[in-house]
Amino acid sequence: MIFSFCGWCRTMSVVLLVVGVVIGVAYIYRHIVVKGKRCTSKAKLHGKTVIVTGSNTGIGKTTAIDLARRGARVILACRCKQRGEAAMEEIRRESGSSQVVFMQLDLGSLKSIRSFAESFLKSEPRLDILINNAGRTGQTEDGFGLMFGVNHLGHFLLTNLLLDRLKECAPSRIINVSSMAHNFGKIDFDCLNSHKALGLGTSFIRLLQIYCDSKLCNALFNHELAKRLRGTQVTCYTLHPGAISSELGRNTGLFLQIVLKPITTFFFKNTVQGCQTTLHCALQEGIEPLSGRYFSNCTVRDLFAKARDDAAAKKLWEISERLCGLV
């Protein structure tokens, strides 16, 4: 009995040691890897105007709150009028600023994008920072695959329509929110030309692949944009915000949300943590020489060769121009 009890004690000691190690590792992961770095810029933005697309929810909303607190005039460019206006009121309350304005923008509609740009250019004399943040899935009213149409093509057109104003207000910045998922993306130019989509199919695996492809489009767009902006004092950056818990839940059913909640709460960033790299790229002093680069966790990172392929970036730009009617 004594030996049995001693063996049980040794076993329990090992179990408790393993549990302690696991808890310790998980704590470190949560507070160092998940929490990540914070934007350290103290920049004030009084007299500056910023557009944030998709800013009625998620990291777009928390980005807008931070910028408004710094004194910027923030334009919430959102698809849904009701949600956009509700977000405007909430952001005004949280930031203590009345310089938060909703303007309707459906990035899935080329007509809506052109209308937004026209209204903005008529009513707003400045544009200092453009944050291309929004993303969706499905199909656009112009027949494009929605992840290609919104995640890339809509922001491509919007950026080009506003580029002259950004140049007039230089130094200015363009932020293209991408994802580390771009590492798994590929661009099927034949599919783009024949179907106006990055890929076909509606299975989960196919949609996940198309999402990765759209994020690669963001990186390639940013790469080509930086080349075209040389000498203008307009700089551009792309970034991975991290895995965001609220963003995952937006597109899943209630049961899956309940199942995933403990995982996303522990291992995913909240929206405040998730917007830090966006804020870093928009505000950090002295990063102008890094125009065209990719950031993660408020740090510049190297891209795989396919995300900085000059030929692919130029080809994507030219196809995008044609599909948007810019040429």
Q: How confident is the model at residue 201 (pLDDT cuts 50, 70, 90)?
A: confident
Question: For 140-164, what is each residue's pLDDT tens digit?
Answer: 555 567 788 889 999 999 999 999 9
Instruction: Give me the pLDDT at residue 24, please.
Output: 47
Q: Looking at 28-42, 124-138, 243-257, 262-276, which range is the least confident one? A: 243-257
- Distance, in Å, from the CA atom of 242 to the CA atom of 266, rounded to the nearest integer, reads 13
Answer yes or no: is pLDDT of 23 > 90: no
Q: Which domains are assigned to the chain?
A: 41-324 (3.40.50.720)
Q: What is the pLDDT of residues 237-252, one digit of tens each?
A: 999 998 876 554 555 5
- By DSSP bridging, strand 294-296 and strand 299-301 are antiparallel
The set of catalytic residues is: 211
* 112-121 per-position pLDDT tens digit: 999 999 999 9
Local structure of residue 180 (DSSP, 8 states): G
Tokens 């500056």 label which residue?
A: 48
Q: CA-to-CA distance for 21 and 251, rounded, in angstroms? A: 35
Would you list the DSSP string of 301-320?
EPPPGGGG-HHHHHHHHHHH
Q: Provide the token pair at 322.
A: 């044609």
pLDDT tens-digit series, residues 65-82:
999 999 999 999 999 999
More confident residue, 253 or 312: 312
